[in-house]
Amino acid sequence: MMEALKRILRMIKFEHTLFALPLAFAGAVVGADGWPGWWNCLFILLAMVGARSAAMSFNRLVDLPFDEKNPRTRDREIPAGLLGRGAVWCFLWSSIALFFLSALALGRWCLYLSPIALMVILGYSYTKRFTWACHIFLGLSLAIAPAGGFLAVTGTVKMPVVVLSLGVLFWVAGFDIIYACQDVSFDRKMGLCSLPAWVGQGRALAVSTLFHLLSFLLFVAAGWMDGLSWPYFVGTAAVGVLLVWEHLIVSGGKLERIDLAFFTINSYVSVLLLAGVIAATGIA
């Protein structure tokens, strides 16, 4: 059982929870205008772990017919025969239960809205079958994080965190477009609807650049609307530098360093946003 769990965590790249978790905490800190409390922090953590684990395990299950045929993904745990689908389904339902129980602990509005959030993060896995806007749907899945953190603390959602969430949407959509450039030929062959497969790699990277510029401006606007102090804008400026670096790495279609661009740099983005919010609110 423990070996199966290790394989599941490796399959869903559990360590990449770092993409979304700092965003949820950033929303909570903004909502509390400081330290949101141990109770909120604990159950935001558990809710995010449950939500992301559910989304990733569901994605691996529904994408199995494609993963078995794609040279890049056929060595993943399920297509390679290292994990049975039954074990992954059990993990999926356990993750959903953790998500709902954590939402219950965070208050009635988090509980009421949790089924909608779950539909979004699970529904994303089907979008690539019918629309190039699949990247936007993935962005929406992570954009829920700061709004959810804010809601957990305040019981409501206000415009600054909505703008911050929109920034997250375009940031995630932008880097997902970059990642999808790896599978242009396969997606076209299978009739899948990624933006690079539809318009070509060069135009897709241009759209990604536009999305990241828009996300940077939205991050700045969110801080200005909420009246955050200068450390937040220092963190946002650092985020802008990282986004420029990400595009320099893949400029001209150079995808051999895509792991650096996709995983490493983007994990720093969410951490820097949280660090800026913490510094701006004066949490010791």
Give the CATH number, domain containing residue 273.
Answer: 1.10.357.140
Cβ density class 193-223: b for 16+ within 10 Å, e for less = bbbbbeeebeebbebbbebbbbbbebbbbbb
Domain total in the chain: 1
The boundaries of the domain holding residue 22 are 2-281
DSSP summary character for residue 251: G
Of the candidates 25, 21, 31, 22, the residue with the CA atom closest to the CA atom of residue 160? 31
d(CA 244, CA 258): 14
For tokens 């809601």, the residue is: 151
Instruction: Answer whether 86's CB lies under 8 Å from 11's CB.
Output: no
Q: What is the pLDDT along the chain (284 residues), one digit of tens a residue?
A: 778 888 888 888 887 777 789 999 999 999 999 999 999 999 999 999 999 999 999 999 999 999 999 998 999 999 999 899 999 999 999 999 999 999 999 999 999 999 999 999 999 999 999 999 999 999 999 999 999 999 999 999 999 999 999 999 999 999 999 999 989 999 999 999 999 999 999 999 999 999 999 999 999 999 999 999 999 999 999 999 999 999 988 887 677 777 766 677 888 999 999 999 999 998 75
Instruction: Report the predicted TM-score, pTM, of the whole model to 2 decimal places.
Output: 0.93
Q: Are 175 and 246 in contact (CB under 8 A)?
A: yes
